[in-house]
Amino acid sequence: MAGTLEGKVALVSGSGRGIGRQIALKLASEGARVVVNDLDDAPGNETAAEIKAMGGEAIACNGDVTKEGFAERFVAAGIDSWGGLDIIVNNAGYTWDNVIQKMTDEQWYAILDVHLTAPFRIMRAAQRFIREAARREAEEGREVFRKVVNISSTSGVFGNAGQANYSTAKAGIQGLTRAMAKEWGRYKVNVNAVAFGLIMTRLTEAPAHGGASIDISGREIPVGVRPEVLQTAEKMIPLGRGGRPEEAAGSVYLFCIPESNYVTGQTLVVSGGRP
């Protein structure tokens, strides 16, 4: 598929559903070859199949991003399939909320593992390929930019009650982003973050007290926001509503295109104007 990202190889974690799925579809629509990932096989495979059906190239590398060895397998999937690695989008994650006096160590570490440790490991696993490719390209007199987009949240920028674990992890990903922008600048890698506000996905739209939950490695994690809370939140957004997943994907795409080659170490807040 011809497009702005023609021939690029992109890894998108957590891309079987929601925002991640839309990111994968957007990058593929612009010509990128996409390694799709989901915790569960079915949604990951479905996204990969959808990309192929629209004329793109994709493979699924499903599994838990927090497990030992996953990062190496994820990175190898793109390199072994297409011989390159150009874009990494660290998107996988979920929330497991509680006030601090009720938050367990398990809750704390589970959220830090998926939102902060997993992106760190994926970037670490990609370092050798990126270093060697950058050295080879420099010797050839070519300037080739690669992109990393880490997904943060307004909870990481401003904090949020009941989300000490999530707010900490998402603030940490901004620190990792800034550090890696400096560390990988010599390799011509732009490392940026997108901090989402209210985006309407299954994690926000399901009724919080209606029994809705997701299964994370055998844990049943309650999800959703009460309708009255959602209504109040949307009233505080200058644009008048929560964002759509495809709009969220568009903001990630901005950091993946050549026009952003001189932008690095930045966090873009995507919240419909709500501070």
CA of residue 48 relative to chain centroid, distance:
16
How many Cβ atoms are within 10 Å of 96's Cβ, its own excluded? 21
Cα first-last separation, the chain:
38
State the burial class of residue 249 (Cβ atoms within 10 Å of its Cβ: 0-12, 13-18, 19+): buried
> What does DSSP say about strands 189-196 and 58-60: parallel, antiparallel, or unpaired?
unpaired
Contacts of 127 (CB under 8 A, 6+ apart): none
The residue type at 115: H
Catalytic entry in 166, 187, 253, 262: 166
Task: Establish whether 166 is a catalytic residue.
Answer: yes
Among all residues, which ones are annotated catalytic?
166
